[in-house]
């Protein structure tokens, strides 16, 4: 059956959706302080955002497998846009919770949907590189949102600027064609979804992402506190470290496709993870020197930039007929990993046990290195 959509247009749409997710994930970081100063209870908003993202992650897979991508792309983007506008205009905690939940649901759907979409429109030889490039647009959204708030003090202006961009892309989504729903053969959606649960490969890949997502969550939430507590640096100086992390991840994902052509998926993953491991060691040993810290954070960002694209490439190849649902399961387990490892790090920091920070990061990387080849071997049995 011939394709009835433009591959380039659909890929551009996916990249825009992933950039929106980048804004979602960092949405509260620059503005939580001002919100908390004016609205009582604003510090609870990150928990609501996490709940929204988890709901969106669980919802998207079965829906896109059964109904296709177009209308869910539009609806989830409208949800995200409504959430951004709510943050810009509401001043009561109840409406802010509703807004951030809508943003989380929209962002969670877009994260999974765009990965599944790119997985579906490209064949095995191109999928991994395109997923890497898609992931780079997460960094674009995150950096754009962060930089807007660095240079503009009133956070409502960046929120409204982002809203205009989102509205323009929603119009774009209306006028392009997307891949159709997958044929529903061999039983109901529920039975096919339950059928996925019998494959060990899916859970092995999901637990690779469990530790990858946990790594990203712990590094994102605790790097600044670790530097402030152990190296006694200014908060603003420590905050720049996370910018270098994002820049490193962006570079790593842009280069991913070319490297995968030369040393294949698993070799590329090991190369990247080795760079990340060296980065964590350099960060730990040289935390008193900000030049070393920034360089190490760029290496860490670069090094962990391959895991999601490479693993989702394997998942998309192994479960092509139900890629959306398979992605939904894998990304949900990944989010559980982020929640659990962040909780472990939080308990350690509450006890002033700051050296648990690099221990958690190194342990996560080593476990990923051990699990990845086992998952790949299990996935080959499916084919």
pLDDT at residue 125 is higher than 50:
yes
Q: Which H or E run includes 189?
A: helix 189-196
The whole-number pLDDT of residue 54 equals: 92
Are residues 30 and 59 in contact, defined by beta-carbon separation less than 8 angstroms? Answer: no
Of 324, 21, 331, nearest to 180 by C-alpha is: 324
Tell me the pLDDT band of 186, cut-offs 50, 70 and 90: very low
Q: What is the mean pLDDT of the chain?
A: 90
Phi-psi region of 264 (alpha: psi -120 to 50; beta: other; left: phi over 0): left
Average pLDDT in the 303-315 region? Answer: 93
The whole-number pLDDT of residue 146 equals: 84
The whole-number pLDDT of residue 212 equals: 95
CATH number of 7-176: 1.20.1250.20
Are residues 360 and 342 in contact, defined by beta-carbon separation less than 8 angstroms? Answer: no
Residue 31 per-residue DSSP state = T
Of 39, 14, 50, nearest to 155 by C-alpha is: 39
CA dist 308 and 303 (Å) reads: 11
pLDDT at residue 236 is higher than 80:
no
Neighbouring residues of 41: CB distance < 8 A, sequence distance ≥ 6? 93
* CATH 1.20.1250.20 domain locations along the chain: 7-176, 192-383
Q: Number of C-alpha atoms within 13 angstroms, CB side, residue 45?
A: 31
Per DSSP, the three-state class of 188 is coil
pLDDT at residue 1 is higher than 50:
no
What are 334's two structure tokens? Answer: 């990944």
Query: What percentage of the chain has pLDDT greater than the value 90?
Result: 60
Start-to-end C-alpha separation, the chain = 22
- The model's pLDDT over 285-295, given as tens digits with 9 standing for 90+, comes to 998 899 999 99
pLDDT at residue 187 is higher than 60:
no
pLDDT at residue 233 is higher than 90:
no
Asked which of 102-116, 191-205, 326-340 is least confident by mean pLDDT, the reply is 191-205
Per DSSP, the three-state class of 178 is coil
What are 1's two structure tokens? Answer: 């059956």
The whole-number pLDDT of residue 183 equals: 65
CA dist 57 and 63 (Å) reads: 11
Q: Indicate the class that CATH gives domain 192-383.
A: mainly alpha
User: In degrees, to the nearest 5, what angle opens at C-alpha 265 toward C-alphas 264 and 270?
Assistant: 105
Instruction: Name the H helices within 39-123.
Output: 45-67, 70-89, 93-121
CA dist 226 and 273 (Å) reads: 22
Average pLDDT in the 243-260 region? Answer: 91
What are 320's two structure tokens? Answer: 């092509």
Pick the more confident residue, 162 or 231: 162
Asked which of 13-17, 65-69, 160-164 is least confident by mean pLDDT, the reply is 65-69
Neighbours of 247 (CB within 10 A): 17
The whole-number pLDDT of residue 188 equals: 42
């Amino acid at each position: 059956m011939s394709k009835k959509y433009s591959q380039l247009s659909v890929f551009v749409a996916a990249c825009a959706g992933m950039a929106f997710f980048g804004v979602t994930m960092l949405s509260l970081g620059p503005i939580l302080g001002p919100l908390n100063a004016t609205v009582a209870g604003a510090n609870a908003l990150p928990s609501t955002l996490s709940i929204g993202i988890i709901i969106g992650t669980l919802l998207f897979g079965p829906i896109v497998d059964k109904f296709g991508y177009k209308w869910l792309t539009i609806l989830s983007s409208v949800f995200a846009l409504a959430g951004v506008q709510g943050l810009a205009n509401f001043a009561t905690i109840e409406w802010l919770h509703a807004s951030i939940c809508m943003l989380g649901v929209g962002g969670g759907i877009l994260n999974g949907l765009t990965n599944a979409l790119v997985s579906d429109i490209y064949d095995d030889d191109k999928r991994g590189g395109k997923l890497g490039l898609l992931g780079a647009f997460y960094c674009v959204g995150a950096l754009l949102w962060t930089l807007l708030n660095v240079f503009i003090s009133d956070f409502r202006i960046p929120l409204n600027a982002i809203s205009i961009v989102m509205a323009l892309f929603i119009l774009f989504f209306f006028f392009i064609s997307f891949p159709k729903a997958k044929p529903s053969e061999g039983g109901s959606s529920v039975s096919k979804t339950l059928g996925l649960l019998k494959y060990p490969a899916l859970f092995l890949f999901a637990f690779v992402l469990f530790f990858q997502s946990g790594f990203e969550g712990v590094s994102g939430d605790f790097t600044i506190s670790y530097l402030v507590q152990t190296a006694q640096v200014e908060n603003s100086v420590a905050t720049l470290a996370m910018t270098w992390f994002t820049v490193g991840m962006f570079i790593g994902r842009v280069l991913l496709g070319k490297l995968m052509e030369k040393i294949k998926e698993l070799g590329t993953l090991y190369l990247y993870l080795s760079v990340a491991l060296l980065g964590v060691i350099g960060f730990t040993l040289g935390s008193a020197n900000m030049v070393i810290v920034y360089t190490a954070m760029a290496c860490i960002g670069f090094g962990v930039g391959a895991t999601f694209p490479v693993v989702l490439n394997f998942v998309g190849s192994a479960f092509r007929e139900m890629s959306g649902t398979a992605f939904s399961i894998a990304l949900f387990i990944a989010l559980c990993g982020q929640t659990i490892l962040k909780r472990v790090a939080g308990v350690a920091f509450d006890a002033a046990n700051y050296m648990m920070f690099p221990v958690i990061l190194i342990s996560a990387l080593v476990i990923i290195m051990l699990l990845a080849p086992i998952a790949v071997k299990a996935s080959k049995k499916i084919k």
